[in-house]
Amino acid sequence: MSHVTNARSAPRRRPLPATLVVLLGLFVIAGVWLLVAPRSKAQGTGDNAATVTKGRVLFERGCSSCHGLHGEGTNQAPTLIGVGAAAADFQLTTGRMPLPAPGAEAERRDPIYPPEQIEALSAYVGSLAPGPPIPSIGDQQWNDADLAEGGELFRANCASCHQAAGKGGALTYGKHAPALSEATPVEALEAIRTGPENMPVFSPTQINDDQAVAIAKYVQFVTNPPDPGGAGLGHLGPIPEGLVIWLIGMTGVAAAALWIGSRQA
């Protein structure tokens, strides 16, 4: 059979040139793109005034319909004057802004803007009036942060809404405190300092920067804890674990017992 096919397709090298052509085409396109494409890194690190200008253009195009042409706010959205770059960066990196639809609360989703545009927008919002800047965490600061202290502060200040394990919880009238499992340390710091939506604001006089980093470290730990026992089952505690044991474990045991019984009958 194969012999016949081979004999019939005499010019059998034909597919190879076609593949080569496609590959070559791809390489050419990739090369052109590399030459033409904008360098996000280079633009991001450009001078601040240029970034702010770029942010203002983006703002007028994408945000001003609700927040006002100069971020002064409208009856649909709050003013952004004085909220600081941290607030803008938090809202944009967590995808809460731009708001997909009005509702009780903005939900976390994939960011709409690419990082360099978020940087520009945050710089512009931060330039409107003094406000909390985008926090940065040094490696030394992160390593020195006291996990136990962070946990204590978290339980004292955050756990009432976000729950002791950072799983979030219900608030009034359809709102809820979100789960923190996806929050990066920087986002956690930004939330502490800016109080997104209904969250209270915590100033550096209440919780200093080292303490805030400790809280962020605790959030990272508690939402993604090591699971030496295997699957964490959502880290919801003994109830789902018991459920699994009863539904799967005990069913298996019962099935095994039935099987043994049927074998002996």
Three-state DSSP class for residue 66: helix
- Residue 177 has phi, psi (to 5 degrees) of -80, 125
Q: How far is the CB of 240 from other proteins (least distance, A)?
A: 21
The answer to whether the CB of 115 falls within 8 A of the CB of 40 is yes
Q: Which amino acid, residue 34? A: L
Element (H, E) at 176: strand 176-177
- 19 or 205: CB nearest other proteins: 205
Binding other proteins (rule: CB under 8 A), the pick from 58, 77, 81, 161 is 161
Q: What character string, x for contact with other proteins (CB under 8 A) and - otherwise, covers 6-45?
A: ----------------------------------------
Please provide the DSSP assignment of 92-106 as one string. HHTT-SS-SS-SSSP
Q: Are 106 and 112 in contact (CB under 8 A)?
A: no
Binding positions for other proteins, 170-229, rule CB under 8 A:
171-173, 175, 177, 195, 197-203, 205-206
Q: Is 160 in the site for other proteins (CB under 8 A)?
A: yes
Answer left, alpha or beta for residue 234, where phi above 0 means left and psi between -120 and 50 means alpha.
Answer: left
* Nearest-approach distance from CB 104 to other proteins, in angstroms: 10
**CA 185/CA 191 separation, integer angstroms:** 10
Question: Per rule CB under 8 A, is residue 262 in the interface with other proteins?
Answer: no
156 binds other proteins (CB under 8 A): yes
Q: 112 vs 199, which CB is nearer to other proteins?
A: 199
Q: Whose Cβ is closer to other proteins: residue 43's or residue 79's? A: 79
Residues that bind other proteins (CB under 8 A): 156, 160-161, 169, 171-173, 175, 177, 195, 197-203, 205-206
